[in-house]
Amino acid sequence: MSEAVSILPLVLVLLPTLGTGAVVLAARYGQHLRSQVTNFVMFATFVAACWQFYIVQQGTELVYALEGFMEFGLRWRVDFVGATFSVVVTLVWFLATVFARDYMAHEHHQTRFFAFWTFTLGGTVGVFVAGDLFSLFLFFEAMTFAAYVLVIHEQDRESMRAGNVYLYLSIAGGLALLGVIFLLQFVVGATGFEPALHLIVAKGISPWLILVMLIGGFGVKAGMLPLHIWLPKAHPVAPAPASAVLSAIMIKTGAYGFLRLLYVVLSVPDGSALFVYQQNFGYLFIWIGAVTMFIGAIMGILNDSMKRVLAYSSISQMGYILFAVGSGVLLGSRGAFGFAGAWMHMINHAFFKSFLFLLAGAVYLHTGELDLNKLGGLRRQMPIALGFFLVAAASITGIPGFNGYVSKIVIHEAILEAYHLLHWPSLLWLERIFVITGGLTAAYISKIWLKTFFGKPKKDWSEVRDLNLSHRLVFGIYVAISLIIGLSAQGAVDRLVLPAANLLPFDQGDIAHLGHVPFWGRAELLSPVTSYAIAVAVLFLLWKFGDRIKVPRWLSVEYLVYRQVYNGFRAGILGLIYLAETWLPSRISSLTRAWRRVDQVTQETKAQIKRWKPPKVELISATDLMKKLEEARAQEREQVKVWRVGDGELKRRIQKVRQEWQEREERLEERIYDVVEGVPRGEAKEEGKKSLDERVRELADWAATRKFNPYWNTKNLGFDAWIVAIVIALILFVFLVLR
Amino acid sequence: MSDIIVRVVTRLMIPYLQLYGLYIILYGHNSPGGGFAGGTVIASSLILYVLAFGIDDEDLRLSPSVARIIESCGALAYVGIGLGGILLGANFLSNKAAGFPLGIPGRVFSGGTIVLLTVSIGLKVASTMITLFTNIAEKEGEDES
Amino acid sequence: MITAHIMPLTILLPLVGAYLILLVGSKHRSFARNFGLLTTGITFAMVCYITYLVSNQGKMAYYLGGWAPPLGIELRADPITAFLLLTFAGVSFFVLLFAYDILPGEINGKVITRYYALYLVLLGSLLGIVLSNDFFNIYVFLEISSIAAAALVAVNGDKLAMEASIKYLVMSTLGSGTVLMGIAGLYMVTGYLSLDFLAGALPQAYASHPLTVLMTLGMLTVGIAVKAALFPLHVWLPDAHGSAPTSSSAILSGLVVKVYIAVLLKLLYRVFPLDFLAALPLQGSLLVMATLGIFIGSIMAIRQRDIKKMLAYSTVAQIGYVFLGIGLFSEKAMLGAVYHVFSHAVMKSMLFLSAGLLIKYSGKRTIADLSGLGRVYPIPMIAFSVGALSMVGVPPLAGFMSKWYLGLGALEANQLLFLLVLLLSSLLNGFYYMPIVIGGFFKKETVEIRQEKIPLGAQISLLVLIAATFFFGLFSNIPISFLTPTVQGIFSAFGGGI
């Protein structure tokens, strides 16, 4: 591999980034010009990626560096992996753009959508051509934040909620990734993609810490369990082209990150003492992948909205990729098959998942429905869509001749090879999980096209038209890609995978083996039969007993883990705040209350003295005098006893109660709105039966009889509290300093 | 306090108080005192006047705008004298190095710039204290009525 | 001639300007505004010149009255000092530019003259603190800055602000008093007030009066911590910064709390030698307090409904970061701390200024009521978003660079825990900044918004601050290379890292 300095990677990133400005400018002159400009930018980026691929494929790695930029400079480095996937990214994005023109034609905020659409491409393609982890991080964050606008495009309640989960989880993931960058920078002095595990251990930092941060960073993006909770929320609420691109490409950045970090940075030669770490990492990833793929598939079967099923399908397919990554890492230098399977599936999934999402978008565009329970019998009105759908389904379920078959076989070979080499019984179980999940995949995909195109029509579909010409062209290209890769199975592997595998120090025998994968062997050809057999069984069960399966809402990672952690934290912190703001000052105030009382009485007495006028002298008997004195004393006692709350205080409290009630009403509304699968949630607890007026009246009565109660909040924090705080701080410092 | 005894005695005392304050200021570089102490004494004389004759007597009181002008001029005079040190070739606030005449130690006009600085400080402090007192006194008056 | 005397002139110019404004401004109303802006601008230019001189010739020293220390007062400028000066003068200028048209809407017309005079006095005292090399001179300017800052909070006379200002004043005075006692203690044992001479005499003083020196250090640190709002002595900050007029809050949060950190830097790194400090449990307490401040500040900020109070609590958290950087005693950490002083000044002023605009045009101060303003007033909302993203630590903005150095500093000092603290707190920062940004652009308006034109001064200052945030994130190597030699010099005597 020779290196060449070329500005092409920079151009590849700059084209879409600056193209955003062109899109916004063009939008001033009309929608038509804007869509032309967008298409042109996308196409130009695609051409640039193809040109780059052409150069890299001949054996040159392209590098470029911008020094002085942010202190370390940005680096670009395009090897075969990066170049290939750049082509995939730009192609998928281009096809989705062509599709999006009709899809978005009736949406609001189109310019904003297309502007951020283009910018996201800039960030995404930057991830794949980045030369070190720092540059990758920069583009990664740009991509994440830009895609947020795509996710919340509809701006309704559900979208904003989904956007929130996506954003906060992505920020957390980004920070975990930043932690990895910090550690690498500290250990190595640079964040390039070079083997670094020995250096990390030498500095005394635990590799598991880096792995955990890595999983947090890229795992959120890759939809790995248990960090996947944003995916089923975010991908369905985005418009279909955005979902396509999110599912197909953006989650691949997570997988790409894992590929680079696990195969290069955290890898060691087989014989090294640190190989144990690599094996453990790999094994962990296989399990994570297996759990992800299995649970994703099951959730896919149980859901009823087309896009949500496809979102869970993405999670499941990412599980496949992680599964393959793990098996490759586990075997070290013998892990060529795992790497090849992961890489191939990344490419294939990009194509067929965007294909599926765009098809779902087409169905939505023509029928206005995404709920599988409301769709049905569309085969008469949209036969061409059905045809395309069957091709996509064939891809994802791994029918020979289509692209999904190729990667599935390779992954299957990978896990079998792992078992043959290591003879761990768990690996066999993992292989079985793999096969079963294949069946589940077939189940949920078949469920989609069965429920959409077959069965009794639930609505009147007579007005529904089939796909228009531009959409047919787009889907035709997808079919062509699928068939080309699928039919020339070994050829695709030779051209797309072998050069990538040669970049890494894999065993030559394995690489040769990769050149002769038994794609057309009998056992392999029969594997889809197994899948579909399982699928038929599952669908049958679903048809018979489907109505009785109700997944309780609390049985999800979100509720079991995230909500509990969040509630725990919130309770703890609110408790602490209550302690500091209410309990502590009230204890202090009860100490100082006596002093204040004395103060107040002194003030009142002084005021009385001031107002005292010399009494008119009148003769009065002793008994009368005594009576008068008694009355006076009694009056004074009365005056002192009843402490009223001032008007202002009362008004404030009434205001506060009103506010509270308003908030409660809003919250109540929200809770009722929270519907799960059409079933309204049961117990919206009665927040109190009293009406607002009653409550206010109660409050007034209370106020009239109330004794003086110091009302503490941070605003009225008395002097005493700070003095105590300062004294304590002084004592602490002096004590600590003087020991 | 509108007692006649207080008023008469105040009227007699104020000139002496002010003279005393002026003495402290002018002899600040020779004996204890200086600008701050002397300015305070002068201010206290004016405060005594307000206390004795009430806040509303505008004739002999130091009005706020005049006080502000005196204060600003005092500060600016200080800075100006310091800059004079720069203009004469030495550093800021230079005294002998800039060539100010030092005179004979022990007399009023000795020590170079120190006398001028002390006077300006005295003016400034006096007017500041008057302003402070007037502000507080006026507010109190508002509360009472 | 100006070159030789540039340092005192820089301090004097705002002070003189303040008094001139008081003299003339009561008669001519617009004199205060124009002259104040002009003075601040010239001060900024002079500070730039000082920086240029320092970058050419290294340290600069100036003796007041021609008297050399220890008899006389010395003014000293070195790269770190010059960098801080740039921050203070520059941010003050742009905040005043912003306030040119906005201030008359926020405070009473009668007190505008006073406001500008106080502002200039504050600026002068800030510059004085940074430039002085004599401890008592530092103290004098410290007091001036406290009083001017407290007055800037209460200048409008509304009840809430006055209560907050009194709290600020009381606690600030307590802090100043403690600092004074510390200075007195140091003078007592060493007989010097000039920082260099103190540094020289300190080892011997410690040998003969160890307890006194330790107590002095403690008092100085506590006094400064009160004024710099280190947890748990920060209680005055939310009220003071939340209820002040916009430009006051910007200056207070951005600059005033930072100048006391500059004093602490001078104290810890110039007076007390580093190996001496490392032997004390000072590092532990500073780090613990800083971490608590970061978390408690962030958590309290999440709870707030009023946008200015939220920004004030965020300041508490960011001050925690700076103290973290100081307490780690490593080269990169100190770079990070100084850089964070600068970038936080820029970011927080930008946040406060844009929040002020948003409050002015919607009439409401609660976060929930600020939805949808981004569509009507894009520039303030974009400024707020840039500031928010910078606080969270998104590259390539300035906030990311300061966190980068702080993180690397934590690793250098072998304290991995504080790296995790840094990352976790960035996430918390996101929790309270992002909702405003999201709500501003993507939610529906909840209150009626008038469409008005934003004054030119406000627009320019916001745009300049946005550009500065980007510039000092992208090209941070320029200031960092300026600062690095000095920082390395401080630590090389110590033997490179703890």
Whole-angstrom distance, CA of residue B144 vs CA of residue C178: 37
- pLDDT value of position B33: 86
Higher pLDDT pick, C417 / A722 = C417
Higher pLDDT pick, A449 / A619 = A449
Rg of the Cα atoms in chain C: 22
pLDDT bracket for residue A506 (50, 70, 90): confident
Contacts of A167 in chain C (CB under 8 A): 430, 434, 438
Which residue is it, tokens 């599964």?
A323
B73·C23 Cβ contact <8 A:
yes
Q: Which two tokens stand for residue A683?
A: 């117990």
B86·C26 Cβ contact <8 A:
no
Look at residue C496 and tell me whether its pLDDT is greater than 50.
no
Q: What does the DSSP 8-state code read for residue A553?
A: T
Whole-angstrom distance, CA of residue A460 vs CA of residue A455: 13
Mean pLDDT across B85-101 = 80
Which residue type occupies A98?
Answer: V
C214·A738 Cβ contact <8 A:
yes
Higher pLDDT pick, A689 / C266 = C266
C23·B79 Cβ contact <8 A:
no
User: Measured between CB atoms, which of C178, C211, C434 is closest to A167?
Assistant: C434
Cis bond leading into A241, ω under 30°? no
Note the pLDDT tens digit of each residue in A429-445.
888 889 899 999 999 99
Q: Is C2 exposed, middle or buried (0-12, 13-18, 19+ CB in 10 A)?
A: exposed
**Which whole-number Å values give the CA distances from A483 to A401, A586, A724, B45, in the listed order?**
6, 76, 78, 104
A171·C235 Cβ contact <8 A:
no
First to last CA, chain A: 63
Which residue is it, tokens 């057999």?
A533
Query: Assign residue B89 a region: left if phi > 0, alpha if psi is -120 to 50, beta otherwise?
Result: left
Whole-angstrom distance, CA of residue A81 vs CA of residue A256: 9
Whole-angstrom distance, CA of residue C379 vs CA of residue A136: 30
Higher pLDDT pick, A373 / A142 = A142
Chains that touch C (3 or more CB pairs under 8 A): A, B
Whole-angstrom distance, CA of residue C290 vs CA of residue C325: 9
Percent of the residues in chain C that have a pLDDT greater than 90, as a whole number: 45
- pLDDT value of position A682: 39
Q: Decide if A172 contacts A216 (C-beta within 8 A).
A: yes
Tell me the pTM.
0.82
In this structure, the strands spanning A60-66 and A2-5 are parallel
Note the pLDDT tens digit of each residue in A148-199.
999 998 888 888 889 999 999 999 999 999 999 998 888 888 778 888 888 8
The residue ranges of every structural domain in chain A are 1-131, 132-548, 552-606+691-739
Helices (DSSP H) in A380-424: which residue ranges? 383-397, 403-422
CA angle at A525 for the pair A523 and A529, rounded to the nearest 5°: 95
- pLDDT value of position C498: 26
Q: CB-based contact (8 Å) between A212 and chain C?
A: no
- pLDDT value of position A683: 37
Q: Which two tokens stand for residue A152?
A: 């919340």
Look at residue A101 and tell me whether its pLDDT is greater than 60.
yes
Distance from CA of C396 to the nearest CA of A (A): 7
Q: Which two tokens stand for residue A519?
A: 């794609």
Q: What does the DSSP 8-state code read for residue C253?
A: I
CA-CA-CA-CA torsion sign (A301, A302, A306, A308): negative
Q: Decide if A32 contacts A87 (C-beta within 8 A).
A: no
Q: Which two tokens stand for residue A662?
A: 């308003």
Distance from CA of A189 to the nearest CA of C (A): 11
Q: How many CB pairs under 8 A join A and C?
A: 137
Contacts of C430 in chain A (CB under 8 A): 167-168, 171
Q: Which two tokens stand for residue A639?
A: 């005056």
Look at residue A324 and tell me whether its pLDDT is greater than 50.
yes
Mean pLDDT rounded to a whole number for chain A: 82
Distance from CA of B133 to the nearest CA of C (A): 17
Look at residue B107 and tell me whether its pLDDT is greater than 90.
no
Mean pLDDT across C207-236 = 88
Helix (H) or strand (E) holding A61: strand A60-66
Q: Is A614 exposed, middle or buried (0-12, 13-18, 19+ CB in 10 A)?
A: exposed
Q: Decide if A193 contacts A264 (C-beta within 8 A).
A: yes
Q: Which two tokens stand for residue A247?
A: 């599912």
Q: How many CA atoms, within 13 angstroms, populate the side-chain half-sphere of residue B140?
A: 10
- Residues 163-202 of chain A with CB under 8 A from chain C are 163-164, 167-168, 171-172, 174-176, 178-179, 182-183, 185-186
Q: How many CA atoms, within 13 angstroms, populate the side-chain half-sphere of residue A699?
A: 19
Look at residue B4 and tell me whether its pLDDT is greater than 60.
yes
User: Measured between CB atoms, which of C217, C233, C443 is closest to A737?
Assistant: C217
Note the pLDDT tens digit of each residue in A219-237.
999 888 888 889 988 998 9
Contacts of A573 in chain C (CB under 8 A): 299
Distance from CA of C259 to the nearest CA of B (A): 24
Higher pLDDT pick, A458 / C404 = C404
A175·C389 Cβ contact <8 A:
no
Distance from CA of B44 to the nearest CA of C (A): 23
Mean pLDDT across C359-374 = 84
Mean pLDDT across C192-203 = 86
Mean pLDDT across A692-716 = 59
- Residues 572-591 of chain A with CB under 8 A from chain C are 573, 577
Chains that touch B (3 or more CB pairs under 8 A): C
Nearest residue in chain C measured CA to CA from B70: C23
Contacts of C178 in chain A (CB under 8 A): 730
Helix (H) or strand (E) holding C62: strand C60-63
pLDDT bracket for residue A1 (50, 70, 90): low
Q: CB-based contact (8 Å) between B132 and chain C?
A: no
- pLDDT value of position A551: 65
The residues, ordered by sequence, that sit 6+ positions from B138 with a Cβ below 8 Å of its Cβ are B55
Top residue of C1, C19, C113, C118 to mutate, by most chain B CBs within 10 Å, is C19
Distance from CA of C162 to the nearest CA of A (A): 12
A722·C396 Cβ contact <8 A:
no
B91·C63 Cβ contact <8 A:
yes
pLDDT bracket for residue A672 (50, 70, 90): low
Nearest residue in chain A measured CA to CA from C289: A729
Which residue is it, tokens 């009065």?
A620
Q: What DSSP letter does each residue of A677-726 carry, written as one string?
A: TTEEPS------S--HHHHHHHHHHHHHHPPP-----GGG--HHHHHHHH
Q: What does the DSSP 8-state code read for residue C394?
A: -
Higher pLDDT pick, A565 / B27 = B27
